[in-house]
Structure 1
Amino acid sequence: MFDVIVVGGGPSGLSAALVFGRQHRRVLVVDGGRVRNAPAEEMHMMLSRDGFPPDRMLAIGRSELAAYPSVEVRPGTVSAVSGSVGDFEAVLTDGTRERARRLVLGTGQIDEPYDIPGLRERFGRGVFHCPFCHGWEVSGKTLAVINSDPADATLAAYLADRFSSDVVLCTHGAEPLPEETAARLALRGVRVDPAPVAEVGGEPGAVSVRFADGRVLARGAVFHKAPTRQHSPLAAGLGCEILPDGTVRVDELQRTTVPGVAAVGDTAKLPAVPTATTLVVLGAADGVRAAVWMDGDLFREDLDRDAARA
């Protein structure tokens, strides 16, 4: 039996495994090889690695784990988990079954861009979701935001406030914006185009937005806050509480509502946090936080067991 099975080999899962490995915990990391920021060429706001390629960072992380013999990183996908604290079972898609005393879920979320031809293909390369991750690189360029939800209109105002004097919000055929929202956009000089978007084309640095009426808007970059969903149903299958936005509820120690199960990265968030953050550095921090406290929990459990036997 492993001490911990970590499901997910992204920044949060690998960081958790690193902590466990350094404490001589026997750990299995099941890495499906699909991470949310795979389309991006660079990651940002991680000290000493600003602008670093995400895939290279993960490769370095896996190589570092090789120094800890109690950590096994296994390619694959977990199709089901069951059990309870002290004895969980994970079933991999190849039929392998593994048991562990604890679980860490770092399965992440999936972006689901609008069904507009060319939008998904350019996601992460000319079409971006996060002004913190990509705003600096498009400073001074003409920008467009494609979003129908009035709640996401603030993104256009933020981009106009920080990065560009020419921002167009494309509401893709949605109902007119509430007056208060429209007024706030006008204060930042954001133009609103309500026409449905028919296609997104072009290359990074020269993206085109073609509307259903035939007009074409040339932009330096496009931002699109895509709807998201959980990459894996494992947390829900275990009975973890799922918040209204689809993320897994955790406490300050990354513990879910199911004893013995932690969730890390953009899989989960505190109820008080408005949205799950997509920053690599915060995902890694979640993994470290979860592992530190889970290791202590395992230690206390062993102390109690040995005391009972004495």
Structure 2
Amino acid sequence: MNDVIIIGAGPAGLSAALTLGRMHRETVLLDAGSGRNAPAAAVHNLLLGEGLAPAELRRRAREQLAPYPSVRVVDAEVSEVAPGARFAVTLATGERVTARRLLLATGVRDELPPVEGLAERWGRSVFHCPYCHGFEVTGRRVVVLGGGPARARLAVQLRRSFADDVVLCAGGPPGLDDATAAVVAAHGIAVREEPVLRLDDDAVVLAAGDDDGDSIAADAVFVPTTVRQRAPFAADLGCALLPDGAVEVDEFGRTSVPGVYAAGDLAHRATLPMPVSAVVAAMAAGTVAAAMLDQDLLAADTGLPDLLAAAR
């Protein structure tokens, strides 16, 4: 009998598999393929992994699982997850695997703004996270798309840390209070209200009625994305979700459903305003969840006290 099934082989799932393998826990790691950061040229802000291509990072991680015979990696999509005395996972291949515990590490996907030319440049010159891609635009011409305080805050952050030339293309009235508008102006950030028509290789083209308006030179464009769960399994199992659509977990990675854990950018604690979308954070969450899974199973197998019971 398997101890744990991990659905998702991104940074969180891989890290969890390593921890469980080192504890000789019978673990099945299910990998459906490339994840959220696949379009990016490189992973950043990751100590010892700085600049690696996402696919290379995954390859190295899987290679490092090889010495742990209790970990089985299966390249297959999951079609169904069923609860019960044992969790049953049906693969698209028809294979059915069961385990005593389940770790969801399926991640999320980004829905991009419907702007012509944007999707083709996603991960190359179009980004969303200053911590992942800000340093690479140092000294370049930067455009921030979208209005409201959060987009203005990002524009100021990019101007302070990386670029002298930052334009906020709000696509309409920027929706800023007087104090925020004053900070934006004090940092020399131009605000444009015309709709964004399309992205070219080195410019953001604004609309003037039905025609092209001004072209704003841009080496990098930062856009807001709508984040969606990549897989339906948390909802299928009845896990509590937060208002932003993320799976609610406690500090140990436990969901509201006994025996089901979650790690990575699909989940966060209710005390945080959002998931931390960083490879290193996903790895850390996977390690913590795996260690707590091991403790959970240890208590179940031996009759020792449940160390986590008081945290419920």
| TM-score for both structures, normalised by structure 1 | 0.93
Q: Which runs of 4+ in 1 moved over 4 A?
A: none
Among 205, 208, 222, the residue aligned to 1:210: 205
Mapped contact 2:239–2:255 kept (Cα < 8 A):
yes
Q: Partners in 1 of 2:71 and 2:290 — Cα distance? A: 13
SS of 1:212's equivalent? strand
SS in 2 for 1:50: coil
Q: Distance in 2 between matches of 1:187 and 1:261?
A: 49
Q: Comparing 66-75 with 172-181, which one deviates more in the overlay?
A: 172-181
What is the one-letter code of the residue matched to 1:49? G
Match for 1:38: what amino acid? A
- Following superposition of structure 1 onto structure 2, how do residues 143-162 of structure 1 map, counting pairs within 5 Å? 143-162=142-161
Q: Distance in 1 between matches of 2:222 and 2:150?
A: 15
2:190 is aligned with 1:195: no
- Structure 1 position 31, deviation (Å): 0.5
Q: Distance in 2 between matches of 1:152 and 1:218?
A: 19
Residue 78 (1) aligns with residue 111 (2)? no
Question: Deviation of residue 78 (structure 1)?
Answer: 1.3
SS of residue in 1 equivalent to 2:87: strand
Q: Which amino acid aligns with 2:134?
A: G
- How many Å separate the matches in 1 of 2:200 and 2:80? 40
Aligned to 1:40: 40
Q: 1:94, CA displacement in angstroms? A: 2.3
Q: What is the CA–CA distance in structure 2 between the aligned matches of 1:169 and 1:91, rounded to whole Å?
A: 47
Shift of 1:81: 1.2
- SS of the residue 1:285 aligns to: helix
**Worse overlay, 92-101 or 12-21:** 92-101
**Count of aligned residue pairs for this structure pair:** 300
Q: Helix, strand or coil for the counterpart of 1:195?
A: coil
Give the letter aligned to residue 93 of structure 1.
Answer: A
Measured against aligned partners, the alpha-carbon deviations of 1:170-229 in whole angstroms (never above 9, x if no partner) come to 112356434343223223221111111111121xxxx21111222211112111121111
Give the AA of the match of 2:89.
A
Q: Secondary structure at the match of 2:167?
A: strand
Say yes or no: does 1:270 pair with 2:265: no
1:83 deviation in Å?
A: 1.2
Query: How far off its partner does 1:282 sit?
Result: 0.8
**Alpha-carbon offset, residue 257 of structure 1:** 0.9
Displacement of 1:262 in angstroms is 0.8
- The superposition leaves residues 25-79 of structure 1 with CA deviations (integer Å, 9 ceiling, x where unpaired) of 1111110112111111111222111112121010011111121111111111112
Asked whether the equivalents of residues 127 and 224 of structure 1 are also in contact (C-alpha less than 8 Å), the reply is: yes
Q: Which aligned pairs between 1:178-257 and structure 2 lie closer than 5 A?
A: 178-202=177-201, 207-213=202-208, 214=212, 215-257=214-256
Q: Does 1:6 find its partner at 2:1?
A: no
C-alpha separation in 2, matches of 1:249 and 1:174 = 35
Is residue 130–residue 225 contact of structure 1 (8 Å, CA) maintained in 2?
no
Q: How many Å separate the matches in 2 of 1:63 and 1:230? A: 28
Q: Using the alignment, how far apart are the partners of 1:111 and 1:180 within structure 2?
A: 31
Q: Which residue of 1 aligns with 2:111?
A: 112
Q: Is the 8 A contact 1:136 1:163 kept in 2?
A: yes
Same amino acid, percent of matched pairs: 45
CA–CA distance in structure 1, aligned partners of residues 231 and 177 of structure 2: 35
The answer to whether the 8 Å contact 1:15/1:287 transfers is: yes
One-letter amino acid of the counterpart of residue 191, structure 1? A
Matches of 2:173 and 2:231 in 1, distance apart?
Answer: 30
Moved more, 131-140 or 182-191: 182-191
Alignment match, 1:302: 301
Match of 1:168 in 2: 167
The 2-side partners of 1:230 and 1:187 are apart by 38
Query: Counterpart in 2 of 1:308?
Result: none
Structure 2 letter corresponding to 1:222: V
Which aligned pairs between 1:4-153 and structure 2 lie closer than 5 A?
A: 4-84=4-84, 86-153=85-152
Give secondary structure in 1 for the equivalent of 2:44: coil
Do the aligned partners of residues 231 and 174 (structure 1) sit closer, same or farther apart at CA in structure 2, a change above 3 Å counting?
Answer: farther
Which AA in structure 2 matches 1:57? L
d(CA) in 1 for partners of 2:195 and 2:177? 18
